[in-house]
Amino acid sequence: MPRARSSTSLALITGGAGAIGRATARRLLADGYRVAICSRTEASVARALSELAAGTHAVGVVGDLAEPEDARRVVDEAVARLDGLNVLINAHGIQGRIAAIADLEPADWLESLRTNLLGPVATTTAAIGHISATGGGAIVNVASIDALRAEVGVAAYGVSKAGLLAFTQYAAAELADAHIRVNAVAPGWVRTPMTEPAIKAAGADRGRWANTALGRPAEPDEVAAVIAFLASPDASYVTGEVLVADGGQVVLMRELGLRHPPAAL
Catalytic site residues?
A: 157
Closest CA to 126 of 65, 58, 38, 57: 65
Sheet containing 87-90: give its strands across: 58-62, 34-39, 10-14, 87-90, 137-142, 180-187, 242-245
- Classify residue 128 as exposed, middle or buried by CB count within 10 Å of its CB (0-12, 13-18, 19+): middle
Is residue 20 within 8 A of residue 142, CB to CB? The reply is yes
CA torsion angle 8 9 15 19 (round to 10): 110
Ranges of H-type helices in the chain: 19-30, 42-51, 68-82, 106-113, 119-133, 155-175, 196-202, 220-231, 249-252
Phi, psi of 217 (to 5 degrees): -75, 165
Closest CA to 11 of 163, 94, 123, 165: 123
Which DSSP letter does residue 40 get? S
